[in-house]
Structure 1
Amino acid sequence: MATPTRTAHEPVRLDQRAVKELGTALRGDLIGPHDPAYEQHRRVWNGSIDRRPALIARCAGAADVSAAVRFARTHDLRVAVRGGGHSFPGYSVCDGGMVIDLSPMKGVRVDPATRTARVHAGVLLGELDRETQAFGLAVPAGIVTHTGISGLTLGGGIGWIMRKYGLTIDNLLSVEMVTADGASVSASDTSNADLFWAVRGGGGNFGIVTEFEFRLHPLGPDVFAGPVYWPMEQAPEVLRFYREWIADCPDELMTIVVQRRAPDLPVVPRELVGRHVIGVAACYAGPLEDAERVLRPLKTFGRPVLDLCVPKPYLVHQSMFDPSFQRGWWYYFRACDVAELTDDLIDTVAEYGSRIVSPISSIALWQMGGAVARVDETRTAFNGRTAGFTFNINGNSRTPEGFNAEREWARAYWSALTPHHSGVYVNFLMDEGEERVRQAYGAAKYARLKALKRRYDPDNVFRLNQNISPD
């Protein structure tokens, strides 16, 4: 088969007979630039990404994925793979190549007896949660319901119940996938175990996963969860309290520190909208009576300006951040892991939080540890199980206006944290180059991943990702 060598900006001239044959062979739809649905389906979640593929293969199943991969290789087309389209740097779409769009693949089959679920690659987090919560079960995964389960899982998968039940990949039992030659393979701890190791954190470098099998855990329907906010000027005191409060907290408690301007939402008092605030959003994956006791110090510290931490359905809590990350807004992210919340780091957080201008820029400081840290570091490709916290700094705007300033604020915040950097979560990277990808995995895992890339994708067909080059 041909090796994809065409650059992103070279004109694409396709054999229209071959295109027609592919369109006939697919159970799903094949969309080109002249189709009425093209504009809709080329767009991705991050509005700052504006790319025009030559073809979009909207796959209805694994056979469609195989056919699309073979066509792309035969015709020397760059390949982008789209699940939920949430890739921060826009890897879900490309100029002049083929988008292999998995979003029509929506099957979810829950087996409550074995507490497992089989999930197709186009499923979104909220869609999965609705199916599993019907049985009082959940997969540890994410915090925004329109995130695609595929990309989230393949990078590791951090979310509200990970400290109790582990990362999303720690609950992955097997995958069905299409490799670079268009073949379908299975991978698990007992079949193609090296490939299974790689996809648990190695992203989309090794093929296109078409189906996931997850282990489920009892949860809900209600959890004690939500944010408590204080004025931003109290950030140093809040963070020092927070540091002590979580020092010996149970695994059931997961928290995310948030800095932003208070959003214009019905639950936010009018006089608070637009003010700089710092919050601690919590979720307790255990009995409500235990949660009330554990969360009482948070809810009674100082004088909060807003307390939304109450018992609520898990599905409601999972959608809490949805209004802050709407489709089509302009997004830019910088990220890093840190070991601990030192006084110097706290001072930096307080300083840069007060500089937020955009109503939709924010930071999320994720608490790590618990079950995540107890998994053997060598078990999966994911790196960073010993991290204390993970920063995700969002320099965002609703339109292009002001976007450059927000991006510079995010970069400056990240740079100020440089003395504290201890790694980075691969799913939070932008298009930052090979060295940053290496940092995300560490030298030993990166070397092992490169060797597996040479075995499974020696021509680097799957390169639009946080790429591990076979070279």
Structure 2
Amino acid sequence: MAVSLDQKRIALETFLQDHTNIKYVTPAAPEFSSLKATYNLTITATPLAIVRPQSSNDVAALVSYCTTHGIQFSVRSGGNNLYGASCVQDALMVDMRDIAFVDIDKEKSSARVGGGILQGKLAKELSKEGLVTAMGSLGFVGFIGWGCYGGYGSLSAKYGLGVDNILAAKVVNWNGEIVDADEEMMKGIRGAGGAFGVIVELTVKVYPLKSILAGMIVFDSQDITSVYQSYNAGYQTLLDEGLSPALSSQQMVVNSPNGRAFAVGIIWSSDDHDAGRAELAKIEALGTVVMNTVGPTTVADYMDILSTQIPSSAYGACQTLSIRKLNNETTAIMSRNFEKMPSSFGTAFTIHELRGPSAAPKSNSVFGLREPHFMLEFISTVAKEEDEKESREWATNFRKELLQMKPENLLPGTYISLTPPGVTPLSKIYGPDSNYETLLELKQKYDPHNVFNLAVPKFYEQ
């Protein structure tokens, strides 16, 4: 006989009476809506309930209970998956955000971090010791989800991607046991994240870095076609000549209060600010600068600034495509589509660049895109729900037009964190070099009963 949702909640509440450390919220509670809210406001699913474990033992008890009683569960680290992966209709949401410790080793070469740590808190704790690790730009994003599925970021040219900085992991496995991931599982975690268990702790590399140069350079965008093409012709020359790995530049086209603008986000990840200003001058020379906010700061403080400028929730989603070169054909297509870009706040386009230590094959990770490339992000996460359709159609058509360019400039895989579930086969996302076959073998070995079937990536869709 089928068990109703109310019966499941009653049984769960009885179980939790013996685990008083675990916080528990049902859909009837006034705080439920705010606790379940994820980045994507389009997601309307209602979980069975929300539980907030306080320790690895709590997570282990929850996994054991769910598997024994046939309860589907999802895991939330930050809740910023663009497709609402952590918020699933009638599934128990295991919210990890209270497990947010940071423990730096005595040598200050690594740190253990909790499975629910947000990037902003991690940056602040490391900054107190004059340290950084590879991370993204927004403080409200969960570090585990960002890092384990790839982790493009403004420090990657110098320190590598998020996956390249993961040294070890503690996981609750399908049987509800707390285990230290062995090397085989670590290979899968570095690229496929929580597909093999609930990650309750990561050990990551950390690096000495007290201050950076960071900010935004906005170029005259009245004639965005010529400005964009000219900038990228010059930028390609800089790449050919050799840019310092300490310099990160992220191109973006956004809707500002003054209209559409082409800007470049800059981070110089070295304490040698004189050398940074010399490199920065090369970027400034690529166009007519109308605003420049680049100045001395820390990773933590800059993350705080960016987090106040980007909404922590929005309607819509993003799409992605990876290419090898920003050549004339590509930038011509891009600039045409910038002219068509809707004026809605949140509609945007940005480019993440992979160069340096991460742009080489790695045998200890299933992450697939291991050559120098540009990951394009077509952003249709808008502030107003009524703007979502127009923004999404623009992003979709933009991406389709780029797919028609010469195939040698297109990479077959996409970035899983920005890819709608089921749209791009996992064999393309994780290929080449047998990564996909390795991933299937690891899934069968470490999650033989597909207990973590709601985790990313979703193997049942293949």
Q: Does 1:438 align with 2:430?
A: no
Counterpart in the other structure of 2:278? 293
CA-to-aligned-CA distance 1:120-151 (integer Å, 9 cap, x gap): 01110010000001111101011111110110
Q: How does 1:54-453 map to 2 (within 5 A)?
A: 54-111=48-105, 113-187=107-181, 192-231=182-221, 232-233=224-225, 234-247=227-240, 248-262=242-256, 273-286=257-270, 287-357=272-342, 358-374=344-360, 376-418=361-403, 419=405, 420-422=409-411, 423-433=413-423, 435-442=424-431, 444-453=434-443
**SS of structure 2 residue aligned to 1:362:** strand
TM-superposed deviation, 1:80: 1.0
SS in 2 for 1:449: helix
CA deviation after TM superposition for structure 1 residue 17, in Å: 5.0
Q: SS in structure 2 opposite 1:103?
A: coil
Structure 1, 310-319 or 24-33: larger mean CA deviation? 310-319
Whole-Å Cα distance in 1 between the matches of residues 120 and 367 of structure 2?
A: 24
Give the SS at the match of 1:203: helix
Partners of 2:277 and 2:396 lie apart in 1 by 38
Distance 2:419 2:305 in 1: 23
Q: 1:222 to 1:284 in 2, by over 3 A?
A: closer
For 1:319 and 1:371, the matched residues in 2 are separated by 27
Structure 1 SS opposite 2:249? strand
Which residue identity does 2:287 align to in structure 1? Answer: G
Number of aligned residue pairs: give it: 447
Change (3 A) 1:50 1:11: farther
Q: Which deviations, in whole Å up to 9, do the C-alpha atoms of 1:134-191 show, x marking residues without a partner? A: 111101011111110110111021211111111122121111110111111102xxxx
Give the Cα–Cα distance (whole angstroms) in 1 for the partners of residues 219 and 164 of structure 2: 32
CA displacement at 1:393 relative to structure 2: 1.0
Query: Gaps (5+ residues) in structure 1?
Result: 1-5, 263-272
1:343 to 1:61, Cα distance in 2 relative to 1, 3 A: same
Q: Tell me the distance in 1 between the aligned counterparts of 2:278 and 2:116.
A: 39
Change (3 A) 1:379 1:182: same
Q: 1:19 aligns with which of 12, 19, 25?
A: 12
The AA in structure 1 aligned to 2:195 is N
- How far apart, CA to CA, are the structure 2 residues paired with 1:274 and 1:14? 55
Aligned match of 1:467: 458
Quick one: which amino acid aligns to residue 344 of structure 1? Answer: E
1:276 touches 1:354 (CA, 8 Å); kept in 2?
no
Q: Is the 8 A contact 1:228 1:309 kept in 2?
A: no
Residues 71/385 of structure 1: CA separation in 2 closer, same or farther (3 Å cut): same
Alpha-carbon distance in 2 for matches of 1:168, 1:106: 18
Give the drift of 1:101: 0.8
- State the secondary structure of the residue aligned to 1:341: coil
CA distance in 1, matches of 2:451, 2:349: 34
Q: In the TM superposition, what whole-angstrom CA distance separates every residue of 1:220-265 from its partner, at most 9, and x where no partner exists?
A: 3233443333303422212222222233112111111101112xxx
How far has the Cα of 1:61 moved from its partner? Answer: 0.9
Change (3 A) 1:470 1:398: closer
* 1:322 Cα deviation from its structure 2 partner: 2.1
**Does the 8 Å contact 1:449/1:468 carry over to 2?**
no
Contact 2:215–2:292 (8 Å) recurs in 1: no
Corresponding position of 1:265? none
Q: Given the superposition, is the C-alpha separation of residues 184 and 69 from structure 1 closer, same or farther in structure 2, using an over 3 Å criterion?
A: same
> How far off its partner does 1:16 sit?
5.2
The superposition leaves residues 352-375 of structure 1 with CA deviations (integer Å, 9 ceiling, x where unpaired) of 12222212111110121111124x
- Match of 1:126, SS state, is helix
Give the residue type in structure 1 aligned to 2:459.
Answer: I
Higher mean C-alpha displacement, 324-333 vs 157-166: 324-333
Residue type of the alignment partner of 1:356: M
**Partner SS state of residue 58, structure 2:** helix
Cα drift, residue 338 of structure 1:
0.6
Aligned partner of 1:52 in structure 2 is 46
Q: Which segment is superposed worse, 304-313 or 161-170?
A: 304-313
Distance 2:426 2:149 in 1: 12
- Residues 9-38 of structure 1, C-alpha deviation per residue, up to 9 Å, x if partnerless? x96353455322322233121221122221
Amino acid at match of 1:235: Y
Aligned-residue offset at 1:300: 3.0
Q: 1:44 to 1:124 in 2, by over 3 A?
A: same
Q: Which amino acid is the alignment partner of residue 100 of structure 2?
A: K
Query: Are 2:25 and 2:49, in contact at CA under 8 Å, matched by a contact in 1?
Result: yes
**Do the aligned partners of residues 348 and 15 (structure 1) sit closer, same or farther apart at CA in structure 2, a change above 3 Å counting?**
closer
Runs of 4+ in 1 over 4 A off after TM superposition: none
SS of 1:438's equivalent in the other structure is helix
Displacement of 1:349: 1.2
Contact 2:212 2:269 in 1 (8 A): no
Measured at CA, do residues 311 and 69 of structure 1 come closer, stay the same or move farther in structure 2, by a change above 3 Å?
same
Counterpart Cα distance in 2 of 1:17 and 1:235: 59
Asked whether the equivalents of residues 124 and 149 of structure 1 are also in contact (C-alpha less than 8 Å), the reply is yes
Q: Distance in 2 between matches of 1:96 and 1:21?
A: 18
